[in-house]
Amino acid sequence: MREWMGGLRAWLTERLPAIVYVVWAFFYLLMLSGGNYEAFLQSRFWVLMALGAGITILYVASCLARKPFSGRGHRFGEAGAWVRASLLILPMLFVWNAWGDGLGTYALSKRFIRLTTMAMTDKEKQTDAVAPDNSAPVEASVLTLVRDPKQYVGKRVYTEGIVYRDEKVPKDHFVLFRFVITCCAADAQPVGILVHAENVEKLKNDTWVHAEGRFVLREFDGTLTACIEAESVDTIRVPAGKDQYLSN
Amino acid sequence: METNLECCPVHEDAHGPQSSRIAHLIQGGFVIAAFGMMVFLRDRSLVRTLSITFISIVLEALPFMLLGTLLGGLIEVFVPREKLAALMPKRRAITVLIGAALGAIFPTCECAIVPVVRSLLRKGVPLGAAVAYLLGGPIVNPLVAASTAVAYSFNWPVVVIRVLFGYGIAVAVGFWMDWRFKDHHDALLPAVANHADVHCCCPGRDHLDHHDGRDEVSGVAAFRAKLASAIDHAADEFFDIGRFMIIGAFLAALLQTLVARQTFVAAIAGTPALAVLLMMGLAVSLNLCSEADAFVAASFRATVVPLSAQMAFMVLGPMLDIKLLLMYLPVFRRRAIVMLAAATTILVFVSMLIMGVFWK
C-alpha cells in the first residue's frame, strides 16, 4: 500500500504543472463563455481571457508532449512543486466565493471619498432658474448623472443602483451608488447620487433599487451634489454579477 | 524517481536550499491560512470583497504574465547572446537611456515585463538598462499616457509630467544600480546571472543547445524544435514564478479590503510631504494596473490631496508595489531588491516634493 501511495505521489508530482495549466485553461474558457469574466473585468477585456486560454492550452500541450517521467514536476523538488501548484490553484478557491457576487457597501466604505458632480462651471451650477420638464422620464446611469449633470437638471429620470445610508445622510434621503470599472473590480470606484423620498427609512444597505423622479442639484456636506427628488423607489432583484458594474 | 537537476541553473531554487525550505514553509502556511479563511469566514462581507478584488487582480494580471513568460521563452531560445550584444550600444549609459524609453515602442504592463527582463538579463543585457526598462516600461507607454489623459479630462501637462518623471526616475535608478553593482553577480541570482554560460541538461529535454541560440539542426525541423523548446521553457518559468504574483495579488487585495481611502484623505490635510508619502504608500499597497491607476488618482482631485501626491501615486505605483516586489524575488538578490526599492522610493518622494513647490 505504502509503495502504491508513493508511486501515486510521484505520478502526481510529475504531472502537477500539466494539472495547473489544465485548470487555468478550463477557467479561462469558463470565464469567456457567456461573458462571465465581466463580473470581474471590463467587457473589452475578452481579449485577455482569450490570450490566457490560448497560452495555458499551449503550455498544457507542451507538458503533455514531454517524455513520461521527464522530471518536469520534480524539477523544483517534491515540496517545491506542490507548494508552487497549490499557490497557482489558490485563486480557484476564491472564485467559488466571489461567483455571482458584486462589490457592495463594505467596499464602498473603504473606497468612497465624497459625493461630487463633475464637468460643471459655476454658472451651470445655478439651477434655480431651470424650468421643470414634465415629459416622460429618461433612463440615466448614476455615472452619467454625476459626469454630465447639466444635461439632466430639471428633467424626470430613472436609474438603478445600491442603497447606502449612514449617520450623515438625512432620514428621508439615501445614497444611490454604483461601482465604475476602468480595468477590473480592484480599481472599481464608487459613484453616487442622493435620493430624496418619503418612507425610505426601511431600505437596508446593499439593497438594489429602481428610483424615478426629478433630477436636481443640491448642497450636501458642503458640496453641490446630484440628487433625485424621487416619485417612486422600488426594490429590484440583484443583477447578475456581470451587470452590477458600470464602465469608464 | 530521482532526477539530477543541479546542472541547470534556470531551475535552481532561487535563494539556496535552506532559504528555499523556509520559503516553502511560509508559502505552504499562506495557502493553509487562505484555505482556512475560505472555509470559516467565507460569508463575511470582508471576505467576499476580498475574494472579488483578489480574483479581479489575478484575472487581469495573469494573461500578461503568461505572455511575458512566453516572450521570455522566445527570447531565451531565439535570440543569441552574441547578436543581442552586437545590437546594443557600446556605451552603457546609452543602453540605460534607451532601456527606460523602450516602453514607448513595446508597450508592456508591469506584470509582463518582469519575465521579459529576466530573460534579457540572462542574455547579457546590462543591469542598468534592464532596471531602466523594468521601471520605465509601464509608464513611458502610449496606453498609459492615453488613460492618464482620459482620467484627467485631457489635462495634457499632467500626462507629460507623469511620463517625464517616470522616464527620469527609471534612468536615474538604472544608472545608480549599474554604479552600485559593478559586478552584476552581486545583484542578480545565479540562475539569472550565470545562465548564458551554461548549457541546459534538464531531464526530458531533447531540444537543442538553445540557451545561446546556436543551431545544430537546420531548416524547419530546427525551427520547430526551437519553438517547442521556447514554449517548454516558458511553461516552466511560469510554474516557477507565477506564485509570486498570486501572493502579491492576495496581499494587495487584502490591503484594499482593509484600508479605507478616506483615512488617507483625513490624515493628509495641509501637509504636502505627508500627502506625498501616504499616496506613495497607497500606490504600493493597492497594486493597480498602470492603465487604471490614473482613474483612482484622479478621484482625489476634489479633495485636499495635492497634485504632487496624486503624481507620486501614479509614478511610484507602476514601478513598485507589493506584487512587483515579490515578482522581483526570482530575478534579483534580496539586497539588490532593497536597494532598488529604496532608490526608487527616495527619488519619487524628493522629485514630487520639488514638483509640489513649483506646481500646485
Q: Which of B60, B150, B239 minimises the CB distance to A41?
A: B60
Buried b (16+ CB within 10 A) or exposed e, B195-217: bbeeebebbebebbebbebeeee
pLDDT at residue B301, as a whole number: 74
Q: Does residue B25 form part of some domain?
A: no
Residues A169 and A112 in one domain: yes
Interchain contact, A248 vs B295, CB within 8 Å: yes
Question: For residue B6, what pLDDT band results from cuts at 50, 70 and 90?
Answer: very low
Q: Does residue B222 form part of some domain?
A: yes
Q: Which of A67, A113, A187 minimises the CB distance to B292?
A: A187
CATH code for the domain in which residue A219 is found: 2.40.50.140
Q: What is the pLDDT of residues B225-276, one digit of tens each?
A: 889 999 998 998 899 888 988 998 898 889 888 888 777 777 776 788 999 9
Residues A123 and A88 in one domain: no
pLDDT at residue A161, as a whole number: 95
Residues A16 and A70 in one domain: yes
Buried b (16+ CB within 10 A) or exposed e, A112-129: bbebbbeebeeeeeebee
Q: Which of B55, B235, B265 minimises the CB distance to A17?
A: B235
Residues A90 and A169 in one domain: no
pLDDT at residue B360, as a whole number: 67
Say if B153 is an interface residue toward chain A (CB within 8 Å). yes
Number of domains in chain A: 2
pLDDT at residue B153, as a whole number: 75
Q: Given the DSSP bridges, would you call strands A173-181 and A245-247 parallel, antiparallel or unpaired?
A: parallel
pLDDT at residue A120, as a whole number: 46
pLDDT at residue B293, as a whole number: 85
Q: What percentage of chain B carries pLDDT values higher than 70? A: 87
Residues A69 and A8 in one domain: yes
Short-list B66, B82, B63, CA closest to B74? B66
Residues A85 and A187 in one domain: no
Residues A138 and A92 in one domain: no
Q: Enter the C-alpha cell of residue A167.
A: 449617520
Q: What is the pLDDT of residues B170-188, one digit of tens each?
A: 999 999 999 999 888 888 8
Q: Which domain holds residue A66?
A: 2-98
Q: What is the mean pLDDT of residues B280-292?
A: 83
CA dist., res. B112 & res. B50, Å (int): 24
Q: Does residue B109 form part of some domain?
A: yes
Q: Which domain holds residue B294?
A: 52-358
Q: Does residue B119 form part of some domain?
A: yes
Q: What is the mean pLDDT of residues B125-150?
A: 91
Contact, A23 vs B38, CB < 8 A? no
Q: Which of B11, B51, B67 minimises the CB distance to A94?
A: B51
Interchain contact, A80 vs B20, CB within 8 Å: yes
CA dist., res. A134 & res. A220, Å (int): 25
Interchain contact, B205 vs A24, CB within 8 Å: no
Q: At what angle do helices B110-122 and B127-136 cross, to 10 degrees?
A: 170
Gap from A139 CA to chain B (nearest CA, Å): 25
Say if A24 is an interface residue toward chain B (CB within 8 Å). yes
Instruction: Provide the β-strand partners of residue A212.
Output: A158, A232
Q: What is the pLDDT of residues B238-250, one digit of tens each?
A: 998 889 889 988 9
* Cβ-Cβ contacts under 8 Å, B299 against chain A: 113, 189
More confident of the two residues B57 and B195: B57
Residue B165 has pLDDT above 90, yes or no: yes
- The number of C-beta contacts closer than 8 angstroms across A and B is 226
Q: Which of B3, B49, B147 minimises the CB distance to A103?
A: B49
CA dist., res. A64 & res. A115, Å (int): 55
More confident of the two residues B153 and B15: B153
Residues A134 and A225 in one domain: yes
pLDDT at residue A165, as a whole number: 87
Instruction: Provide the β-strand partners of residue A210.
Output: A160, A234
* Cβ-Cβ contacts under 8 Å, B303 against chain A: 113-114
How far is CA A36 from each of CA A30, A172, B156, rounded to the nearest angstrom? 7, 37, 36
CA dist., res. B69 & res. B234, Å (int): 5
B185 alpha carbon, distance to own chain's centre: 20
Number of domains in chain B: 1
pLDDT at residue A127, as a whole number: 53
| ipTM, 2 dp | 0.89
DSSP code for A239: P
Selected residues 278-337 of chain B with any CB under 8 Å from a CB in chain A:
286-289, 291-293, 295-296, 299-300, 302-303
pLDDT at residue A119, as a whole number: 41
* Cβ-Cβ contacts under 8 Å, B1 against chain A: 10, 14, 69, 71, 74
Q: Enter the C-alpha cell of residue B86.
A: 552586437
Question: For residue B75, what pLDDT band results from cuts at 50, 70 and 90?
Answer: confident
Q: Does residue B167 form part of some domain?
A: yes
More confident of the two residues B107 and A95: A95
pLDDT at residue A148, as a whole number: 87
Residues A19 and A82 in one domain: yes
Say if A45 is an interface residue toward chain B (CB within 8 Å). yes
CA dist., res. A142 & res. A177, Å (int): 7
Which H or E run includes A163? Answer: strand A156-164
Short-list A95, A17, A93, CA closest to B238? A17
Residues A53 and A80 in one domain: yes
Residue B306 has pLDDT above 80, yes or no: yes
pLDDT in tens, chain A (248 residues): 778 888 888 888 888 999 999 999 999 999 999 889 999 998 888 999 999 999 999 999 999 887 655 555 566 788 889 999 999 999 999 998 888 888 988 998 888 766 655 444 455 455 555 666 778 889 999 999 988 888 899 899 999 999 998 888 888 899 999 999 888 888 888 899 999 998 888 889 999 999 999 999 888 777 788 999 999 999 999 998 778 999 87
Reported pTM: 0.81
Contact, A243 vs A216, CB < 8 A? no
More confident of the two residues B47 and A69: B47
Q: Does residue B23 form part of some domain?
A: no
CA dist., res. A243 & res. A126, Å (int): 35
Q: Does residue B352 form part of some domain?
A: yes
Place of cell 494539472: A19
Residues A67 and A125 in one domain: no
Nearest residue on chain B to A62, alpha-carbon basis: B232
Strand, helix or coil for residue B279: helix
Say if A121 is an interface residue toward chain B (CB within 8 Å). no
Residues A61 and A135 in one domain: no
Q: What percentage of chain B carries pLDDT values higher than 90? A: 35
10 Å CB burial of residue A92 (0-12, 13-18, 19+) is middle
Say if A86 is an interface residue toward chain B (CB within 8 Å). yes
Q: Enter the C-alpha cell of residue B303.
A: 479633495
Which of the residues B27, B55, B202, B232 would you substitute to probe the A interface, choosing the one with the greatest number of A C-beta atoms within 10 Å? Answer: B55
